[in-house]
Structure 1
Amino acid sequence: MLSRIAESLFWIGRYVERVDGTARLVDVVRLDQLEGGYGAHGQSVGSVLGVLGGEVGDDFVSYDALRENLVFDAANLSSITGSWNAARDNARRARETVSTDLWEAINTAWLRWGRLGPPDGTARHLAWARERAILVAGIADSTMSHDDAWDFLVLGRYLERADMTARIISTGTLPTGALSWQSVLSSCGGNQAFMRSASGLFTDRAVATFLVLNREFPRSVLHALVQAEDALTRLEPEHLNVGFGNDARRLLGRIRTSLEYRLPENVINELPQQMVRVQQMVSAVADSVAHRYFPSEAEQTWMEEIR
């Protein structure tokens, strides 16, 4: 597979997942404001904007600023509009590799997103973005051969999910945070799954443990890291007797084991630091993947012929 095609597939996975995660988090802030919770005072809005890479100028940030920056700003690749644009551009570059159904799903999402009505950031925009992102991911899984192309897409998806979930968790701290832990759980779509897992016993620490360490919940940090590591293993099985030749896999294994094999209470007691480490490690893994699989050569320039 050409490296440019593999890179496009990797970023399709990341950008589609980014649409889903961003829409979930912005919708939670919107609901908090409607209910007069933390978001009504602006702290949660500023925290979310900062966590997702936006600029926060002062302590009070309006929901309108959050909406413009993370939903409709086409120049911001962390926004929903920017992510749809980037996902469509990458799908166009990999048109000969992605399935026809997947291309049509991404292209349709890109076309319809701009035609949903005034950019007011209502529930209709955010719910549509979430549903469309899930649809695109499902179409990719059910219409693409599960070969190297699919593995690059899945690798991008789960690296982005691990990073996004860590960022979402960062908006809540124990015992209090910018968003309530109920809101953090809702933003990950984990209400029903948590209630089944915890038998209805809701505590902040239980929610934090569930979102970080649960092996079965598909949006937990640990589950996403495991899936990303599995994709890397399929792409390049190790044949070394000692260590790993793939730096990305080594980095992923290090952060996964640091969560999986520590006592849960130790992980939760150091939750902010652990989530920062996850974000930093995901960034390092992405750089390592790019260096190994998507090498970029220096641009060649013509020089005057020497006589």
Structure 2
Amino acid sequence: MMLSRTADHLYWMSRYLERAENLARLLDVSFSLSLLPQSKGARAEMSAPLVITETLQQYNTRHDTLSAQTLFDFMALDRDNPASIVSCLKLARENAHAVRGKIPVEMWENINATWLQAKQLPSAVNVGEFFDWVKERSHLFRGVAYGTVLRGDAYSFVRLGTFVERADNTARLLDVKASLMDSGHGVDDFYAWSALLRALSAYEAYLELYREPPNAQSVTELLLLSPRLPRSLRASMEAICKILAQIEGEDSRVAQRDANAIRNELHFVRADEILRFGLHDYLNQRLIDINTLGERIYDAYLKAA
């Protein structure tokens, strides 16, 4: 078993990189929806990233109005906002630097180059190109990790951070988008569900698997319960369970138990049952479960002795 501080740096290095990519996806979709002529709630759509990252109050204390440009500056480029994309890239680089001697040179160079490029971004950066750049850098990181890291604890913690962050993001994104539509402040269902699918790189998969326009039940089924969709909640939990089974640590059985409980729930529940229960209430409970799982992982593997 590697030292807990090394495991912690590797885990958070990958979590922050995944978070940066997820933020880019979320902002891209929110901007697109806010510009649609069908949108009746452009402000609600634009505020979604602030709600998901719990930075709405911080934003309101610094800005009098909500506009696409100020939102982009705050959520993408603002180094004083710890939840911004650039801040996530900085934190990923700091964690990588702390374990520079424990990771392949190619991985360090990828993360360091990403941060150096982020620091040099102009204030008038093209929004679409920036989002594509963030996703590309994240994809490069995962490719380097897959192709260079020795299969062992280091590789396990890098992947564990990725999937814990992804599970949390998928649940949060679906919850906020569903809440906007339920409240009547979002865009028409078709555009909202389609945009959500695109945010999670699931639109083409949806078209392949379903013969009906995107709707609450089919999108819930795909994004929460599909074991085949890489960014679904169930696929993320399947990956987490496999990874935890490969790592030993103090109280590791508790973390494995909680992860398997979430995975089993997603394996047996049906989309229509989730919708009858209430999508927001169901996702809120899963988010609590994922947060608790993060605490179990910290106690089992990352807490300094």
Aligned to 2:285: 277
Aligned to 1:184: 196
Rg: which structure is higher?
1
Q: Is 1:138 the equivalent of 2:143?
A: yes
Deviates more, 1:85-94 or 1:113-122: 113-122
The one-letter amino acid paired with 1:211 is L
Aligned to 1:264: 271
Aligned to 2:207: 195
Map 1:11-22 onto structure 2 (within 5 A). Answer: 11-22=12-23
Structure 2 gap ranges (5+): none
Match of 2:81 among 68, 76, 87: 76
Map 1:118-137 onto structure 2 (within 5 A). Answer: 118-120=123-125, 122-137=127-142
Return the offset for 1:26. 0.2
Aligned to 1:295: 303
RMSD: 2.4
Q: TM-score, length-normalised on structure 1?
A: 0.87
Match of 1:227 among 234, 239, 257: 239
Structure 2 CA distance, aligned partners of 1:183 and 1:39?
A: 15
Aligned to 1:210: 222
Structure 2 CA distance, aligned partners of 1:60 and 1:213?
A: 38
Q: Is 1:26 the equivalent of 2:27?
A: yes
Structure 1 gap ranges (5+): 239-243, 298-307
The runs of at least 4 aligned residues of structure 1 exceeding 6 Å deviation read none
* Alignment deviations for residues 9-34 of structure 1 (CA, whole Å, 9 cap, x no partner): 10011011101110001011122233
Structure 2 CA distance, aligned partners of 1:84 and 1:103?
A: 13
Distance 1:75 1:291, change over 3 A: farther
* Alignment deviations for residues 285-306 of structure 1 (CA, whole Å, 9 cap, x no partner): 1122112222236xxxxxxxxx
| Counterpart contact for 2:34–2:46, Cα < 8 Å | no
The structure with the greater share of residues assigned to helix is 2
Structure 2 CA distance, aligned partners of 1:87 and 1:245?
A: 25
The one-letter amino acid paired with 2:47 is G
SS of corresponding position for 1:38: coil
Q: Is 1:255 the equivalent of 2:262?
A: yes
| Counterpart contact for 1:43–1:60, Cα < 8 Å | no
* Alignment deviations for residues 169-222 of structure 1 (CA, whole Å, 9 cap, x no partner): 012228925361111111111111111121465333211211111100000011
Match of 1:67 among 72, 93, 105: 72
| Counterpart contact for 2:35–2:42, Cα < 8 Å | no
Deviates more, 1:41-50 or 1:89-98: 41-50
Aligned sequence identity (%): 26
SS of corresponding position for 1:118: coil
Aligned length: 292
Distance 1:43 1:233, change over 3 A: same
Q: TM-score, length-normalised on structure 2?
A: 0.88
Aligned to 2:50: 49
The one-letter amino acid paired with 1:78 is A
Return the offset for 1:69. 2.9
Return the offset for 1:47. 2.7
